[in-house]
Amino acid sequence: MDTDGRKKKIIITIDGPAGAGKTTVSKLLAQRLGFRYIDTGALYRGIAYAASQANIASDDDKALEKLCGKIHLGFEEIAMGLRLVLNQTDITDKIRSPELSMKASAISARPVVRDCLLILQRFLGKQTHAVFEGRDMGTVVFPEADIKFYLDANLSVRATRRFEELSCKSGDVPDPKTVETEMAIRDKNDSSRQIAPLKPAKDAIQIDSTNLNVQQVVQAMFELVQQMCPKGNQEPKIG
């Protein structure tokens, strides 16, 4: 039970670098468990998007703090899936460009931005059983999570996956080498920043997806969840 008397929600965290397959795997695992899926990278992208619209530089803490205080950012579940909504506008299809990836990585190193999203993420964690995908879910946001995964793969495999994903979408697609270079820069930014750097939690189960397909990763996670979730705490039923 929570301190306020409500039944504790099951939280599964999946952290790891870009292109490791977190999004696909997290969505499928959540679907299989009947849990909600939360993409926390999308929240950082949402703030990066709002900052670009307002011409706010990634290191302008004062302006970022003000922005975080006034925007309304959240998810909405509709028939076509989970949508990211900023001030009542659906921005889901506007946040995946390479430029916004870099801006999201840059603003995610600013404490003002992390503090604001920490509150939002913990609030979402109280609502229902959920799979949270991100960089610091198991280390900082939910240190008491029921099960923590850290999903990784080697850089060239991750870059190839991201290149294929970008190629499926319309618009300008950078060449594979650029995708790999930008991914390496983002890995470095995300894992070397001072607050909440990307790293596996001490108690995370590490999975290397370099030679595994999506189904294999989801199956491995699903079996571990079934083994590890305390029997009396399964609601809705897992399996």
204 touches ligand DC (CB under 6 A): no
139 touches ligand DC (CB under 6 A): no
Query: Least distance from C-beta 236 to ligand DC, angstroms?
Result: 25
163 touches ligand DC (CB under 6 A): no
Go through 127-163 and write b for each residue having 16 or more CB atoms within 10 A of its CB, e for each that does not: eebbbbbbbbbbbbbbeebbbbbbbbbebebbbebbb
Angle between helices 40-53 and 111-127 (to 10 degrees): 140
- Residue 200 CB neighbours (<10 A): 17
Query: Least distance from C-beta 186 to ligand DC, angstroms?
Result: 5
135 touches ligand DC (CB under 6 A): yes
CA separation for the pair 105, 193 (Å, rounded)? 10
Task: Compute CA 20 distance to the chain's CA centroid, rounded to the nearest angstrom.
Answer: 11
134 touches ligand DC (CB under 6 A): yes
Which one of residues 105, 139, 153, 209 is an interface residue with ligand DC (CB under 6 A)?
105
136 touches ligand DC (CB under 6 A): yes
125 touches ligand DC (CB under 6 A): no
Query: Least distance from C-beta 213 to ligand DC, angstroms?
Result: 20
9 touches ligand DC (CB under 6 A): no
- Phi and psi based region of residue 55 (left: phi greater than 0; alpha: psi -120 to 50; beta: remaining): left
92 touches ligand DC (CB under 6 A): no
> How many residues interact with ligand DC (rule CB under 6 A)?
15
Name residues contacting ligand DC, limited to 16-75 (CB under 6 A): 18, 40-41, 44-45
| Cβ closest to ligand DC, residue 1 vs residue 168 | 168
Site string for ligand DC, 143-162 (x = CB under 6 A): --------------------
Go through 173-190 and write b for each residue having 16 or more CB atoms within 10 A of its CB, e for each that does not: bbebeebbebbeebbebb
CA separation for the pair 171, 153 (Å, rounded)? 27
Angle between helices 111-127 and 61-70 (to 10 degrees): 30
190 touches ligand DC (CB under 6 A): yes
Q: Which residues bind ligand DC (CB under 6 A)?
A: 18, 40-41, 44-45, 101, 104-105, 108, 134-137, 186, 190
